[in-house]
Structure 1
Amino acid sequence: MLGAAAAAVAAVALVASPAQADPVGTPAYRDIAIVGSDTTQTVMNGLSDAVLVNGTKVMGSYDARGSDNITTKATGCTIPRPASSGAGVTALVTSVEAGDNCVQAARSSSNNASSYAGKNLTYIPFAVDAMTYAVRSDSTVSKKLTTAQLKSIYNCTAPGVGTNFKPLLPQFGSGSRDFFLKQLGLTNTANYTTQFPCVVDVDVNGQPIQEHVGTYLTDTKHILPYSIAVYVSQIYGNAPAAQGKAVLATFNGVPPSVLNTASTFKRDVYNVVPTTKLGEALYDQVFTGGDSLICAKTDVITQYGFGVNPNCGSTQLVTPPAP
């Protein structure tokens, strides 16, 4: 169930073609290589194709999943593919500190600035998403839960948890995992599933669970956090179809809506850049201010299921000083 708002963009979404997983076409290597979040990879792929400076594509967005390595520049920049918001921001920090110019920006689906104290980064919001939970269409789990009920499931205190409820989480480093747990009033840690053993963050093969992939729901008792925007993109063909039998739930009485205006777990999503780059012409033109090239592409942003952010281009969110 997508909600009535989905119909408003269906005509646009159905005729749109999904963006490539990694940059294609010319130039092969772009001035701004962006890595990180699963959640925003397809919308940033679309924006990378749409944002032009003097008729030239200047952004190259690399998916969180794919080949083990990516090559972001012609020479010296073959690096492990960052597979999450946290991994993307870490790759950006590593590149800046090494001075190798391999990564210029990172995608982040959560405000994890506090984890990068002293790293001199700015988190620039560009769109709005919201999260809910997904279950199978034939699930035995209610499709109408509240925050309190979800919290009791994810801290393993709900009656029947582990039997009637089998909660799943994306891998540690996922921005969506971090946001979802924080909204439930729980602390995201690398050993979360050890602390709360009813929760699983690996698949049947022991591989980390990726964000917003409904095919992980192999049991009618499974529950999985899910981005509304990504689900809409999957349904309408703007993102790889990975929803399987997943359906989105009505959460806290609010049906999932493509524009996310009434969703309980509404969130900003970000592009992260080195603060020292603010003021440089290219970065300002592409990222900063409501008149930036990204913020002007509201048609692309909504095409991928995201809402327009009234604070698009703000540079107020920066990482704290070093402790």
Structure 2
Amino acid sequence: MLCAAFAALATAALVASPAQADPTGTPTYRDIAVVGSDTTQTVMNGLADAITVDGVKRLGSYDARGSETIKTKETGCVITRPASSGAGVTALVASQEAGDGCVQAARTSSNNSANYAGKNLTYVPFAVDAMTYAVRSDSTLSKKLTTAQLKSIYNCTAPGSGTNFKPLLPQFGSGSRDFFLKQLGLSNTANFTTQFPCVSDVDVNGEPIQEHVGTYLTDTKHILPYSIAVYLSQVYGTAPAAQGKAVLATFNGIAPSQLNTASTFKRDVYNVIPSAKVTDPQYAQIFVGSSSLICANQNVIKQYGFGISENCGSTQLVTPPAP
């Protein structure tokens, strides 16, 4: 639960340091290369450092941001860095179809399985996050909005849309964008900001907005979806600081550290693996079941601001059949 995670994170931050952005140390290249979601990159980096099999690290977690390309295996496997949940799952599918062995798993912060019909993937939950919205500490906007009010801001029907309110979204492909808009009852489309022109998903330089980076809030009228777990880990130092002047809001009357019980904005986050690998001992030991090595490392998960999923290790969520 996130309330417990909040307390655990505050304690852990006294001794913890941020996990590395990409795999470091030995072995340089790991058996299972994991790419994708910005939201879960740091907790998966931490798990990759903590989990060993026969004394050897088997997981290699690559950040959504950094160099343009990553190299995941000793031979070949130089690929464009997947910069979001969708890009991560797409990279996994491409690697499986090519049979190149470059990507073995993907991180995603939303259930985007419907987008991969017929791709034979299993979405394995391991942690719980919740989302709210963030504004600047000196913002002119209310820090106590409801779902209905937030929806009116993001569909540009709120009075003063584009002037009094300047809503921001992460880039298309972001799992957090997908989850956030769906919870507001809005469709996540690539042309969302064309349909609702008061919303922007690029920064002042025209570059795509990344998830959970408070420094995008350059105007006191900006508002941005934000992961509570990521914010806490940024504030307490278990993830690189990126919050800037961002502060989390009390949403639907619920303080941000309490959005684990009452809010529909609570979500499982997932690691995606090929369904054919669910019974593979190498994958199963790490990902599958409540006794898997990921699920067993609850302290690491909490250290990065997340709660433990009641469904941790479940393999019930799979991509639908091909149309």
For this structure pair, what is the TM-score category when the shorter chain's length is used for normalisation?
over 0.9
Distance change in 2, residues 1:101/1:5 (3 Å): closer
Aligned partners of 1:297 and 1:259: how far apart in 2? 23
Contact 1:257 1:263 (C-alpha < 8 Å) held by counterparts: no
Contact 1:133 1:223 (C-alpha < 8 Å) held by counterparts: yes
Aligned-residue sequence identity (percent) comes to 81
Name 1:27's counterpart in structure 2: 27
Name 1:74's counterpart in structure 2: 74
Aligned partners of 2:318 and 2:182: how far apart in 1? 19
Corresponding residue SS for 1:178: helix
- Runs of 5+ in structure 1 lacking a partner? none
More displaced stretch, 299-308 vs 255-264? 255-264
Corresponding residue SS for 1:60: strand
Corresponding residue SS for 1:250: coil
The one-letter code sitting in structure 2 at the alignment partner of 1:161 is S
Corresponding residue SS for 1:14: coil
Aligned partners of 1:283 and 1:261: how far apart in 2? 31
Contact 2:5 2:306 (C-alpha < 8 Å) held by counterparts: no
The one-letter code sitting in structure 2 at the alignment partner of 1:280 is D
TM-score w.r.t. length of structure 2: 0.98
Contact 1:193 1:200 (C-alpha < 8 Å) held by counterparts: yes
Aligned partners of 1:148 and 1:189: how far apart in 2? 20
Where does 1:142-161 land on structure 2 (aligned, <5 Å)? Answer: 142-161=142-161
Q: Does 1:288 align with 2:311?
A: no
Q: CA deviation at 1:7?
A: 3.9
Name 1:245's counterpart in structure 2: 245
What are the superposed Cα offsets for residues 50-89 of structure 1, whole Å, 9 maximum, x if unpaired?
1110111000000000000000000110000000000000
Count the aligned residue pairs: 322
Name 2:130's counterpart in structure 1: 130
What are the superposed Cα offsets for residues 230-269 of structure 1, whole Å, 9 maximum, x if unpaired?
0000001111100000000000011011783344400000
Name 1:226's counterpart in structure 2: 226
Runs of 4+ aligned structure 1 residues displaced above 4 Å come to 2-5
What are the superposed Cα offsets for residues 21-54 of structure 1, whole Å, 9 maximum, x if unpaired?
0000000000000000000000000000011101
Contact 1:124 1:287 (C-alpha < 8 Å) held by counterparts: yes
Corresponding residue SS for 1:152: helix
Name 1:313's counterpart in structure 2: 313
Q: Does 1:265 align with 2:265?
A: yes
The one-letter code sitting in structure 1 at the alignment partner of 2:62 is Y
Name 1:235's counterpart in structure 2: 235
Corresponding residue SS for 2:63: coil
Q: CA deviation at 1:10?
A: 0.8
Corresponding residue SS for 1:145: coil
Corresponding residue SS for 2:218: coil
Aligned CA RMSD, in angstroms, stands at: 1.3
TM-score w.r.t. length of structure 1: 0.98
What are the superposed Cα offsets for residues 185-228 of structure 1, whole Å, 9 maximum, x if unpaired?
00000000000000000001110000000000000000000000
Name 1:91's counterpart in structure 2: 91
The one-letter code sitting in structure 2 at the alignment partner of 1:131 is M
Name 2:191's counterpart in structure 1: 191
Name 1:255's counterpart in structure 2: 255
Name 1:200's counterpart in structure 2: 200
Corresponding residue SS for 2:70: strand
Q: CA deviation at 1:11?
A: 1.5
Contact 2:5 2:302 (C-alpha < 8 Å) held by counterparts: no
The one-letter code sitting in structure 2 at the alignment partner of 1:88 is G
Corresponding residue SS for 2:33: strand
The one-letter code sitting in structure 1 at the alignment partner of 2:280 is E
Name 1:45's counterpart in structure 2: 45
Distance change in 2, residues 1:4/1:217 (3 Å): farther
Aligned partners of 1:96 and 1:68: how far apart in 2? 22
The one-letter code sitting in structure 1 at the alignment partner of 2:131 is M
